[in-house]
Amino acid sequence: MAMMTDRSPTPALLSGLLITMMTVVAYSGYVAVQINGLRRVQRDLADRNRKDSLQLLRIHNDLNSVALAMRDMLDNEEPYPLTAWSAQFRRIHEDLDDALQREEQLAVGQPTQEQHEFLSASLARFWDAVDRTFILAKEKRLVEARQQIRLSLQARQQALSTSVSRLLVANNEREEQTALYITQVYDQVQQRAYFFLAGTLTAILVTGLYLTLANRTLFGKISLLAGQRRELAQKLISTQESTLRDVSRELHDEFGQILTAIGAMLSRMHKHIPGESTLRPGLLEVLEITQATLDKVRSLSQALHPTILDEADLASTIDWYLPLLQRRTGIVIDFRTAGMCFDLEPGVRIHTYRILQEALNNVIRHSGSHRAWVRLEYQPGALILEVEDHGKGLRSAASHQRGIGLVAMRERAELLGATIEFLTASPAGTVVRLTIPHRNDGGPGLSRPVLSGFD
């Protein structure tokens, strides 16, 4: 029988599975880190730009308030003196300084920093001009003060408003650049995910192909071993039947004839010995022993291979065998036949008879039942043999699978191309059912058998 010496593919498959899982975990972690980083950048930048824009709007509103105040200061109909606006300008100055300081902390990038430095310097010059204007107003030089407002302060205020507007525009551009950067990163992550998916699918495909080839090789070897096992089992069973047949013939022909001749010679000697001889009782005892031995030899010969199997049909053989089994074991067996009897090949008869023997032996040894039912049914397309008992039943399929008797029954069913089933009887017990396909030409089916498991 061939031996499988190739190395098992299991270590390679497990290594490939481990590598694939580690790759998936590593890439999943990488993607999670990237996505979390993007979310953090997006959240931080969006929040910072929003706050920066709010401070810029605050600065722009303060500058607009300054512009309105200067317009009112230049209005000749205004009843208030110019110095009355000093407190309002001081509040605006404080608010502008605070807004500018907060905005500088939120701003990002070197160009924005340069713009903030220019804005801070312009504001400083603007407030210096405002201070000089209020000094002129305190000195009652109102014409010069208004001239200062008209020529210097308003121009400076417009320049400051323009700078703040540019900062707002730059802030919007930064938001667009941030959105573009995040979109690019998302695209890169998506592209890498596609590459990873393609690599994973390739690894799975390679592993699947390797597993398919390994399984094909393995199943081919299993099929070869199964065929060799089946062939060996068939040869063993055939050898067993041949040996039993030869031993049965030897017992019947050789030992039986010898014991018959010895018995005949002892009978003649018994007749010629006078009745008063002391040898007569001993000779009679030897004659009885010889006859008993002859009966046992004939019984053993029939048990090994009943000659009736070669001379009569299967139903007659079973009808001859069951009474012998009942007398030997004390079990009550009910035998019934149905259907129109048809001829069976000698091999079919002997294998069916052996399956019946093994099924009844299981009833006697394991079931604990004192009664059994044997049914033989001839159908147009099959021959069905059933052996039923109402004993303990099948405890587990696994324990029965290990029995050598059941293995032999399955092997014989295979030789017949038959189906053998082990069923649960109602309400308890076991039913062994053997179904042998029958061709229209009278022979049994020789197709490949299908062996059913336990129900």
The domain ranges of the chain are 10-212, 307-437
Asked if 395 and 424 count as a contact pair (C-beta separation under 8 A), the reply is no
Q: How far is CA 415 from CA 225, 307, 310, 346, 420, in A?
A: 17, 22, 19, 13, 12
HEC readout, 88-146: HHHHHHHHHHHHHHHHHHHCCCHHHHHHHHHHHHHHHHHHHHHHHHHHHHHCCCHHHHH
Asked if 343 and 441 count as a contact pair (C-beta separation under 8 A), the reply is no
Asked if 355 and 416 count as a contact pair (C-beta separation under 8 A), the reply is no
Residue type at position 278: T
Rg (CA), the chain: 56
Give the residue among 310, 287, 307, 288 at the shortest CA–CA distance from 299: 307
Q: pLDDT 10s per residue in the chain (455 long)?
A: 344 445 666 676 677 777 877 877 787 777 777 777 777 777 777 777 778 788 888 888 888 888 888 888 887 666 678 888 888 888 988 888 888 888 777 765 545 567 777 778 888 888 888 888 888 888 888 888 888 888 888 888 888 888 888 878 877 777 777 778 777 877 787 787 788 778 777 877 887 788 788 788 888 888 888 778 777 877 777 787 778 777 877 776 777 778 788 878 877 777 777 766 777 777 778 888 888 887 787 777 777 777 777 777 888 888 888 888 888 888 999 999 998 888 888 888 888 988 998 899 888 888 888 899 999 999 988 999 999 998 887 654 444 445 677 888 888 888 888 899 988 887 788 899 999 997 655 444 433 333 333 23
DSSP-derived secondary structure letter, 320: H
DSSP-derived secondary structure letter, 56: H
Give the residue among 309, 322, 335 at the shortest CA–CA distance from 364: 322
Please state the pTM of the whole predicted model.
0.49
Looking at residue 386, what is its pLDDT? Answer: 92
| Paired residues of 95 in beta bridges | none
Residue 271 to residue 35: CA distance in whole angstroms = 117
Q: Under CATH, domain 307-437 is a member of which superfamily?
A: Histidine kinase-like ATPase, C-terminal domain (3.30.565.10)
Looking at residue 397, what is its pLDDT? Answer: 41
Q: Sheet of 419-424: strands edge to edge?
A: 332-338, 371-378, 382-389, 430-437, 419-424
Looking at residue 433, what is its pLDDT? Answer: 92
